Amino acid sequence: MSERQTAPSETEAGISMLGDKTHPLFDLLKRLDAGRHQYSISRHRSDSIMVSVTFVGERTEIDVFEDGRMEVSRFPGTEDVLGGAELAWRLIVNNEE
């Protein structure tokens, strides 16, 4: 890097310096791991990471934002089998754009 060029700031580089504090996403994952809960991590929005957890009788989605804020959506259900391949195809067709 020449003298005229400067390194990007931590924010510009996408780095969040939290010091000794860990990001709430890692706290959440550690807690889920400690409880031996099954989860998946995905990204459906540009401003958050989604952690999907299945508990007995419900599916839970936890969106974790860069600032550590969380939004939780719960989807309770009976976990009954409601159909087979025919239902799967019908749901897909009914929800196409």
- Which residue range forms the structural domain that includes residue 32? 24-94
Residue 15 located in a structural domain: no
pLDDT digits (tens, 9 = 90+) for 9-55: 444 444 444 456 789 999 999 999 999 999 999 999 999 999 999 99
Residue 6 located in a structural domain: no
Q: What is the rounded distance in angstroms from the CA atom of residue 26 to the CA atom of residue 62?
A: 13
| Residues in Cβ contact with 10 at an 8 Å cutoff, skipping those fewer than 6 apart | 16, 17
Residue 19 located in a structural domain: no
Reported as a pLDDT band with limits 50, 70 and 90, residue 5 is low
Q: What is the rounded distance in angstroms from the CA atom of residue 83 to the CA atom of residue 77?
A: 15
Domain total for the chain?
A: 1
Residue 40 located in a structural domain: yes
Residue 64 located in a structural domain: yes
Contact present, 52 and 44 (Cβ < 8 Å): no
Residue 63 located in a structural domain: yes
pLDDT digits (tens, 9 = 90+) for 49-78: 999 999 988 999 999 999 999 999 999 998
Paired tokens of 41:
């991590």
Lowest mean pLDDT among 4-8, 9-13, 17-21, 83-87: 9-13
* pTM of the predicted structure, to 2 decimals: 0.69
* Nearest residue to 50 via CA among 38, 40, 35: 40
Q: How many of the other CB atoms lie within 10 Å of CB of 25? A: 18
* Nearest residue to 49 via CA among 25, 27, 19: 25
Residue 11 located in a structural domain: no
pLDDT at res. 15: 46
